[in-house]
Amino acid sequence: MEADGFVRKRRMTAETTGNDPGVAGASAGAEVRWLGGRFWGVSESIVGSLTPRIGGESEIQTVEFTRCAQDQTEDSEPDYEGLPQGASTSTHMLAGAVAGIMEHCLMFPIDCVKTRMQSLQPDPAARYRNVMDALRRIVATEGVWRPMRGLNATAVGAGPAHALYFASYEKLKKTLSDVIHPGANSHLANGAAGCVATLLHDAIMNPAEVVKQRMQMYNSPYRGVLDCVRAVWQKEGPAAFYRSYTTQLTMNVPFQALHFMTYEYLQELLNPHRQYNPSSHMFSGAMAGAIAAAATTPLDVCKTLLNTQESMALSSLSSGQGPGQGQGAHRHISGLAHAFRTVYRLGGLQGFFKGVQARVIYQMPSTAISWSVYEFFKYGLTKHQHNKRRTQHLEAET
């Protein structure tokens, strides 16, 4: 196969050039791409069933393979940014879905810790010094699987949410860049595309977030995901699943704008030729996630409060009428303004930054995983289909 020849040549180059870190990095990148080779057969059938031709309106479909293309050497690396321009929407959706599921699943224990550390009035047994202390105590006192409660709800929501998220971002980024700054990258277009993509992502993900965070809380009364969904629906109505939607948008729109603008800016610095470079994708994703997470922590604290309707916080709002078996038991925190007042009343200014350490620790590897997996699958899926079309064309000529 061409890909095998490509990997062998990279390995031979690395062996003949000693310990050159640049060549070693190229070899490592080739090996990373080779590890995904087994995915392409399955991915090809999935994408092929969704779109028999790659990018109906794209450049790849209209390119005629001339004699110049036939004379191209096997070891020449295709232009990475040229490939995604011809990627079909289904390719972006499949790559985005895989990236989203892996991101949330791998980082789910840290997400559980973040939710608990953002509690305004935690139970004495659920007060933690730092992330590692929280994980150790949760596992020791509640069981090794306790940090994973609610994972299935998150995985079900993350797949379609991230599929729409990345597909809409890629489409809007290109469309807006052509309008705002033709032929070049536009930070404004990147930020605007990220904001619009967030609207679609959060519309799908918000109910899953509500279920997930309620199951992550200390002493959660729910037996499982279906029990949580049924209880919330019966006691609070379907609107409870979108009670924090406006707050989540208020948080995620600036978060994603900062996230995408920082990522694209770092890519311009670290990867100006926009080739497939796993280390640059991972580093840019991690730094973009950290900056955006730290800046939007106050809004995330409010979102967590709206999602969990923390019982001890509700009791404290019952005007000093005891632990709240009467009036407090039926009271809900609704709306961003109400959540802000509650956080300030119960935690002061520092209450808005509860769990900031856990949030940054969660977002750095989370966004690094998301971007590196997304770029890897996008590159591999598109290159595989592109090579298959070229092979078919050459066979037809002969």
Question: Do the beta carbons of residue 228 and residue 154 sit within 8 Å?
Answer: no
- DSSP H helix total and E strand total for the chain: 17, 0
Q: How far apart are CA 25 and CA 30, in angstroms?
A: 9
66-112 tens-digit pLDDT: 344 344 434 444 444 444 455 678 888 888 899 899 989 999 999 99
Burial of 311 per CB tally in 10 Å (0-12, 13-18, 19+): middle
Q: pLDDT below 70 — which residues of the chain?
A: 1-87, 317-331
Residue 122 near residue 218 (C-beta atoms within 8 A): yes
Distance in angstroms (rounded) separating the CA atoms of residues 342 and 203: 25
Q: What is the CA radius of gyration of the chain?
A: 24
How many angstroms separate the Cα of 393 from the Cα of each of 43, 59, 67?
A: 21, 16, 12
**What is the per-residue pLDDT for 260?**
86
pLDDT for res 241: 93
Say what the alpha-carbon torsion angle 192, 194, 199, 201 is, to the nearest 10 degrees: 170
Each residue's pLDDT tens digit, 226-284: 999 999 999 999 999 998 898 888 888 888 888 988 998 999 999 888 888 899 999 99
How far apart CA 302 and CA 343 sit, in angstroms, is 7
Show the tokens assigned to 349: 């200014």
Phi, psi of 331 (to 5 degrees): -95, 140
Return the number of other C-beta atoms located less than 10 Å from residue 44's C-beta.
14
